[in-house]
Structure 1
Amino acid sequence: MEMQAEEAARRWLADQGVRQVGDGWVSDEKPDVLLTANQVAQSWAGDVFAEDLDAADQLRLAFGLLDLLDDYWVTCEIRFANEGAECPLPADVLWDGYRQRLEADRDAEAVTYSLWVDWFEDHTTSATAFAEVLGNDIDRVVAERSEALLRRARSVLECSGPVCWTVKESTYRTAMRLPALHAAIFRGLLTSFHDVYGDLEPAAALAILDQLDLPPNTQHLAQLRHVLAAGHKNHYRSPGAWDDAARSCS
């Protein structure tokens, strides 16, 4: 599916006079100027949503551009289109596109960064986004344990720091049933403390942390346990707490 979307996007760019050459891209307008993937995304990704296609096909084409260019800006254009004057993009296609790319056996940094800074840090969208990419089917992830589902779960857990604790706690607790997800839950707890928009409840987070099967020399494990036991919710609310923990644990 992703390969088909990528090839459709390549054909669409060719229709715009843009083609890939070696490590870059060129346009018919300026064939001597080598463009980066980000420059292509900045210049053309938004045009996808002006195509004479229904919204679902526009969105599929945009995801194809994301596969082709692997550039975060494409996800920005998707978000802009979703918030634009027209009706929101079809939610089933939107979130299925995210899920597919989180499950793919390839780098998903642009997708996870998009979730983190755009969807999860915005508390008007974080609950829905988290539910769609993991919360709604964490039971299936734990039951099936396929590599694709585990890839998605790890990626989402690791960048879930900004999601409200009341939204993500039950998902963390269900994910704990799989030792293969324990390291990702730890990363989620760590970013929940350190992210400027991170959210956790110290006692509940500590109870989860204490049940994770982690190597005793896991970096930052002792410090995180220390700040949670002291009742600290966030690094930015207690700016000296982490350094105090580091000194106490050294």
Structure 2
Amino acid sequence: MSTEDDARSWLAERGVVEVGDGWTDVEERPERRLTANDVAHSRAGEVFTDERLDRADQVRLAFGLLDLLDGYWVTCVIRSVDQGSDGPLPPDLLWEGCRRRLEAERDAEPVTYSLWVDWFEDHGTVATAFAQVLGNDIDRVVTEGSDAQLRRAGRVLACSGPVPWPLKEKVYDTAIRLPALHAPLFKGLLNSYYDVYGDLEPTAALALLVRLRLPADTLHLTELRSVLAAGHRNHYRCPHAWDAANT
């Protein structure tokens, strides 16, 4: 069975089953319809207290719940356990689980959002997280990467705004060698400037920006080029600079 099927069976053992396009708890309130988000909030934490499972199986089941429920809250639980008193989780399983979902054809928003606002914004976890999901193998991805690996690279680049510039500059400089990654790299640069916690070095970022092969009418390309040329590091340090670039 797939991890998603395992998660469905695990929930069914607890009386939580799919009904139409929703869920219900047949033991507690069978008349009430639950959303996937409801199920994630009420049940995801139980995965890591299930004593029938060893830690590795708990991690696999948690990712199965993520696949099944497609909910950001499941990623919050995974991270909370990893960073909490019962952590860390087995790093090979944790990060392979993230990479697999970043490479999948299906939408990976819960994982990319978690990377962005949790792992990358936290100075205690950003170096490890960024290295594990892209930094460690960016050279191989660019030179011989499969479509799946390029999906992962693009998704990580696009949400990498909060990653400190010294950690991502080399990754950006490597990614730019592959035109297929230019669009997500632009998003990464844009978020590095415009995100509240974004980080960049204006001169180096501008040097990368001018090398990108992008349509001339790319949204915010002109503004970003202007503020970087003026030496601005972050939108929120000088918000009027962005407005001035539009005039």
Which TM class, normalised by the smaller chain length? Answer: over 0.9
Aligned residue type for 1:25: W
Name the residue aligned to 2:110. 110
Please give the alpha-carbon distance, in whole angstroms, between the structure 2 residues aligned to 1:197 and 1:143: 31
Q: Which moved more, 1:120-129 or 1:200-209?
A: 120-129
Name the residue aligned to 1:7. 5
Please give the alpha-carbon distance, in whole angstroms, between the structure 1 residues aligned to 2:181 and 2:145: 10
**Secondary structure of the equivalent of 2:85?**
coil
Please give the alpha-carbon distance, in whole angstroms, between the structure 2 residues aligned to 1:40 and 1:62: 13
Please give the alpha-carbon distance, in whole angstroms, between the structure 1 residues aligned to 2:141 and 2:127: 19
Aligned residue type for 2:127: A
Name the residue aligned to 1:24. 22
**Secondary structure of the equivalent of 1:233?**
coil
Deviation at 1:229, TM superposition (A): 0.3
Alignment of 1:1-250 (within 5 A): 4-28=2-26, 29-52=28-51, 53-247=53-247
Q: Which runs of 5+ in 2 are unaligned?
A: none
**Secondary structure of the equivalent of 2:115?**
helix
Deviation at 1:63, TM superposition (A): 0.2
Q: Which moved more, 1:140-149 or 1:129-138?
A: 140-149
Please give the alpha-carbon distance, in whole angstroms, between the structure 2 residues aligned to 1:80 and 1:133: 18
- Report the TM-score, using the length of structure 2 for normalisation: 0.98
- Report the TM-score, using the length of structure 1 for normalisation: 0.97
Task: Report % sequence identity.
Answer: 67
**Secondary structure of the equivalent of 1:34?**
strand
Please give the alpha-carbon distance, in whole angstroms, between the structure 2 residues aligned to 1:64 and 1:214: 37
Deviation at 1:87, TM superposition (A): 3.3
Q: Which runs of 5+ in 1 are unaligned?
A: none
Deviation at 1:83, TM superposition (A): 1.8
Q: Which runs of 4+ in 1 moved over 4 A?
A: none
Please give the alpha-carbon distance, in whole angstroms, between the structure 2 residues aligned to 1:144 and 1:16: 45
Please give the alpha-carbon distance, in whole angstroms, between the structure 2 residues aligned to 1:192 and 1:84: 29
Please give the alpha-carbon distance, in whole angstroms, between the structure 2 residues aligned to 1:56 and 1:206: 44
Please give the alpha-carbon distance, in whole angstroms, between the structure 2 residues aligned to 1:22 and 1:236: 46
Please give the alpha-carbon distance, in whole angstroms, between the structure 2 residues aligned to 1:57 and 1:121: 28
Aligned residue type for 2:83: E
The number of equivalent residue pairs is 245
Deviation at 1:142, TM superposition (A): 0.6
**Secondary structure of the equivalent of 1:168?**
helix
Aligned residue type for 1:72: Y
Aligned residue type for 1:34: R
Deviation at 1:145, TM superposition (A): 2.9
